[in-house]
Amino acid sequence: MNFFSTNKQSVKATFREAVLNGQPSDKGLYFPEIIPAIPPDFWRDFKKKTKAQIAFEVIKPYVGDDIPDEIVLQICAETVNFDFPLVKITENISTLELFHGATLAFKDVGARFMSRCLQYFSREKSEKTIVIAATSGDTGGAVANGFFDVEGVEVVILYPQGKVSRVQELQLTTLGKNISALEVNGTFDDCQTLAKTALADEDLKRKVFLTSANSINVARWLPQQFYYFYALQRWEDDENAPVISVPSGNFGNVCAGILAHVSGLPVSKFIAATNANDVIPNFFQRGKMEIKSSIATLSNAMDVGNPSNFVRILEIFDNDFINLKEKLEALSVSDEITAQTMREVFEKYNYILDPHGAVGFYALENYLHKNPDKKGFFLETAHPIKFDSVENITGTCGAIPEAIEDLFSRPKQSVKIRANYEDLREILLQKI
Ligand SMILES: *Cc1c(COP(=O)(O)O)cnc(C)c1O
Q: Is 47 a catalytic residue?
A: no
Contact criterion met (CB below 8 Å) for 112 and 146: yes
Buried b (16+ CB within 10 A) or exposed e, 347-362: eeeebbbbbbbbbbbb
Categorise residue 12: left if φ over 0, alpha if ψ from -120 to 50, beta otherwise.
beta
Q: Give per-residue pLDDT as tens, 408-431.
A: 999 999 999 999 999 999 999 998
CA of 422 to the centre of ligand 1 (A): 31
pLDDT at 292: 86
**Beta-bridge partner residues of 14:** 2
Q: Where are the domains of the chain?
A: 82-105+221-401
CA of 215 to the centre of ligand 1 (A): 10
* Four-point Cα dihedral 308, 313, 316, 321, nearest 10: -130
Element (H, E) at 381: none
Question: Shortest CA distance to 134 belongs to which of 185, 82, 182, 200?
Answer: 182
| Mutate-to-test residue for ligand 1 from 136, 221, 253, highest number of ligand atoms within 8 A of CB | 253
pLDDT at 107 over 80: yes
Q: Which atom of ligand 1 is nearest to the CA of 354?
A: 13
| Mutate-to-test residue for ligand 1 from 138, 165, 306, highest number of ligand atoms within 8 A of CB | 138
pLDDT at 194 over 80: yes
CA of 222 to the centre of ligand 1 (A): 15
- Residue 138: which pLDDT band, with cuts at 50, 70 and 90? confident
CA of 294 to the centre of ligand 1 (A): 14
> How many Cβ atoms sit within 10 Å of the Cβ of residue 54?
21
Q: In what order do the strands lie in the sheet with 243-247?
A: 86-88, 93-97, 376-380, 243-247, 269-274, 328-332
CA of 207 to the centre of ligand 1 (A): 34
Q: Give per-residue pLDDT as tens, 277-328.
A: 999 999 999 988 888 888 889 999 999 888 999 999 999 999 888 899 999 9
Q: Sign of dihedral through CA atoms 411, 386, 389, 282? A: positive
Q: Which atom of ligand 1 is nearest to the CA of 304?
A: 8
CA distances from 311 to 186, 307, 342, 424 (A): 30, 9, 31, 32
**Beta-bridge partner residues of 89:** none
CA distances from 409 to 174, 182, 343 (A): 9, 20, 31
- 236 φ, ψ (degrees, to nearest 5): -90, -15
Contact criterion met (CB below 8 Å) for 178 and 150: yes
CA of 254 to the centre of ligand 1 (A): 9
The one catalytic residue in 51, 107, 375, 386 is 107
Residues 143-171 have a mean pLDDT of 92
Q: What is the DSSP string of 82-108?
A: S---EEE-SSSEEEEE---STTSBTHH
The Cα 101–Cα 198 span in angstroms is 30
Query: Pick the residue with more confidence: 11 or 357?
Result: 357
pLDDT at 234: 97
pLDDT at 404: 87
Q: Which atom of ligand 1 is nearest to the CA of 386?
A: 13
Contact criterion met (CB below 8 Å) for 362 and 333: yes
Average per-residue pLDDT for the chain: 94
CA 42 to mean position of chain CA atoms: 26
For domain 82-105+221-401, the CATH class is: alpha beta
Residues 324-338 have a mean pLDDT of 97
CA of 97 to the centre of ligand 1 (A): 13
CA distances from 381 to 30, 245, 274 (A): 24, 11, 13
Q: Which atom of ligand 1 is nearest to the CA of 252?
A: 7
Query: Pick the residue with more confidence: 404 or 4?
Result: 4
At 288, is the secondary structure helix, strand, or coil?
coil
- Residue 163: which pLDDT band, with cuts at 50, 70 and 90? confident
- 174 φ, ψ (degrees, to nearest 5): -110, 5
Q: Which residues line ligand 1 (CB under 6 A)?
A: 105, 107, 138, 247-253, 301-302, 356, 381-382
pLDDT at 2: 97
Q: Which atom of ligand 1 is nearest to the CA of 142?
A: 15
Residues 195-212 have a mean pLDDT of 90
Residue 314 half-sphere exposure toward CB, CA atoms < 13 A = 15
Buried b (16+ CB within 10 A) or exposed e, 66-87: bbeeeebbbbbeebbebebebe
Q: Which atom of ligand 1 is nearest to the CA of 357?
A: 11
Question: Shortest CA distance to 214 belongs to which of 29, 62, 82?
Answer: 29
The set of residues, in sequence order, having a beta carbon less than 8 Å from that of 326 and lying 6+ positions away, is none
pLDDT at 403: 82
